[in-house]
């Protein structure tokens, strides 16, 4: 039996008179990889901002692990076990990789964490994501793919049960993209649920088990990758003809 980790019900957010997200409803199951796609301006990042507490909805509910977190602050939501990355990584540039990840470890899900314990856990996470050789490197001296990995590491350090990933392969070359895709699979194998916004269809079609599609703030489709690739509404709104699943 599939167990829900996140339930979003009729979520709606207005900016002035414009509905950025309108009556969006869906579930995400534990240990699932779910993709979120749609044209620019479809409401994807707004939806992430609602789930992570940066915005408050005008209407609707967000239920995480059977707890209503609709009006929680970002800090409280992080403590509950939802982590996120941002499309443009924003590390503390004059701090090392280790120091950046330790901030996530010290101020994440666990209360009153011991400094040495946080350091040990951060070193393990840096090794897990493949940045051991850059552990003492200042973030400002990292390449784009390394900053992307560091962004993921900081989120992992908060000990999330659900990780929201916003265009994590944007700007990467094909080899780097494959590296990050493999990393995401490894993260899911650790028991963490992934919810991914991405425009690179090779990534979404290759890694997601289910895909949700937004258009003008509304959900227009939901299904397995091959179902989404063949959905006429999705093709017209976003994919275009001839999309490849892999």
**pLDDT in the model for residue 43:** 94
37 Cβ contact list (under 8 Å, min separation 6) = 44, 197, 198, 199, 201, 204, 211, 212, 213, 214, 228, 238
Are 165 and 196 in contact by the 8 Å Cβ rule? The answer is yes
How would you write the pLDDT of the chain (246 residues) with one tens digit per residue? 678 999 999 999 999 889 999 999 999 999 999 999 999 889 999 999 999 999 999 999 999 999 999 999 999 999 999 999 998 898 999 999 999 999 989 887 666 578 889 999 999 999 999 999 999 999 999 999 999 999 999 999 999 999 999 999 999 999 999 999 999 999 999 999 999 999 888 899 999 999 999 999 999 999 999 999 899 999 888 766 444 444
pTM score above 0.85: yes
* Domains and their CATH numbers in the chain: 1-81+160-246 (3.40.50.300), 87-158 (no CATH)
Q: What tokens appear for 144 in the block?
A: 């784009």
Q: 216: exposed, middle or buried (C-beta count within 10 Å: 0-12, 13-18, 19+)?
A: middle
Residue 4 φ then ψ, to 5°: -75, 135
C-alpha atoms less than 13 angstroms from C-alpha of 173 in its C-beta half-sphere: 3
Count H helices and E strands in the chain, helices first. Answer: 9, 10
């Amino acid at each position: 039996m599939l167990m829900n980790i996140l339930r979003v019900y009729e979520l709606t957010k207005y900016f002035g008179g414009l509905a950025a997200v309108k009556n969006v409803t869906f579930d995400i199951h534990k240990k699932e990889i779910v993709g979120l796609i749609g044209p620019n301006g479809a409401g994807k990042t707004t939806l992430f901002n609602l789930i992570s507490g940066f915005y408050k909805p005008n209407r609707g509910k967000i239920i995480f692990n059977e707890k209503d977190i609709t009006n929680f602050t970002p800090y409280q939501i992080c403590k509950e076990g939802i982590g996120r990355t941002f499309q443009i990584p924003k590390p503390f540039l004059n701090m090392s990789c280790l120091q950046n990840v330790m901030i996530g470890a010290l101020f994440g899900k666990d209360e009153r964490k011991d400094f040495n314990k946080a350091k040990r856990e951060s070193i393990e996470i840096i090794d897990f994501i493949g940045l051991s050789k850059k552990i003492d490197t200042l973030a400002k001296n990292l390449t784009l793919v390394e900053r992307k990995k560091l962004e993921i590491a900081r989120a992992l350090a908060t000990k999330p049960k659900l990780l929201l990933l916003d265009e994590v392969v944007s700007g990467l070359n094909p080899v780097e993209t494959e590296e990050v895709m493999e990393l995401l699979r490894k993260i899911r194998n650790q028991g963490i649920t992934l919810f991914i916004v991405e425009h690179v269809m090779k990534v979404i079609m290759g890694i997601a088990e289910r895909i949700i599609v937004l258009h003008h703030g509304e959900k227009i489709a939901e299904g397995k990758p091959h179902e989404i690739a063949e959905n006429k509404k999705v093709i017209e709104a976003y994919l275009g003809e001839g999309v490849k699943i892999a």
